Amino acid sequence: MDDLRFVQACVSGDKKSWNEFLLRYSRLIYNYIYSVLHIKGFTFAAEQVEDVFQELFYSLIKDNCRKLSTYRGRNGCTLASWLRQVAINFTIDYLRKLKPALSIDAEREGGLVFKDALVDVSADTEKLLNDSDRRQALSDCIGSLSSSEQYFLELFLNQGLNLEQIRECLKINRGAVDMRKVRIFRKLQDCFSRKGFQLDSLR
């Protein structure tokens, strides 16, 4: 049975074909998801990868397998190749939705707000820049970070996790956590400096 007829059998509800689909392609899809996460610099726990996997499978079968039924096998495209592209696109979209909207007004330890960590480089700057300017500078600099770097900030600033807790969350060693923090804040300091601000320490 060719790939197109096989998919049509799955869509029509043939249990034997669907079981074969799961057996043949589940691990393949899982590996594609994991590869995208790795390439994008995300370190997810196995349970989180499984969540992406489950959501992808649901997207294939919901509404009477509407997504799966779009496979046509044109131009020699195999089902495995098609599923690879589906998995890549789905995982990238999942990461975009996951991308945290880091609040610049969220309180940090001690009642401080992230935007309060910005201080003006010169006395004259205060006269020229108002609060909306500082907000825009923060938004621009945070937006320039990768999704994984923004996620780190979300954990460290908005959720108030310490570095050891972040290590547990990200499943990486403590040295990697420390280096990631230094790298992220160095990027932010450079960005803010170019915009006429100085970033205080965010310990």
Q: Which residue in this structure is represented by tokens 């500078």?
A: 137
Judge contact between 11 and 68, C-beta under 8 A: yes
140: left (phi > 0), else alpha (psi -120 to 50), else beta?
A: alpha
The pTM for the full model equals 0.49
114-199 architecture in CATH? Orthogonal Bundle (1.10)
The average confidence (pLDDT) of the chain is: 77
Q: What percent of the chain has pLDDT over 90?
A: 12
Share of the chain above pLDDT 70, in %: 74
Q: For the segment 40-76, what is each residue's pLDDT rounded down to a tens digit?
A: 777 777 777 888 888 898 888 888 889 999 998 888 8
Q: Looking at the chain, which residues constitute the CATH 1.10.1740.10 domain(s)?
A: 3-98
Q: Does residue 185 carry a pLDDT above 90?
A: no
Mean pLDDT value across residues 160-187: 81
Q: What is the CATH number of domain 3-98?
A: 1.10.1740.10
Cβ atoms of 118 and 198 within 8 Å: the answer is yes
Range of lowest pLDDT (17-26, 44-53, 117-126, 146-155): 117-126
How far, in whole angstroms, is CA 68 from its chain's centroid? 25
Residues carrying CATH 1.10.10.10, the chain = 114-199
- Could you tell me which residue, 113 or 16, shows the higher pLDDT? 16
The whole-angstrom separation of Cα 49 and Cα 156 is 22
Distance of CA 66 to the CA centre of its chain: 26
pLDDT at 69: 93
Burial state string for 8-17 with b = 16 or more CB within 10 A and e = fewer than 16: bbbbeeeeeb
HSE-CB of 191 using CA atoms within 13 angstroms: 17
What is the gyration radius of the CA atoms in the chain, in angstroms? 23
- What are 93-113's pLDDT values in tens digits? 888 776 554 455 555 545 545
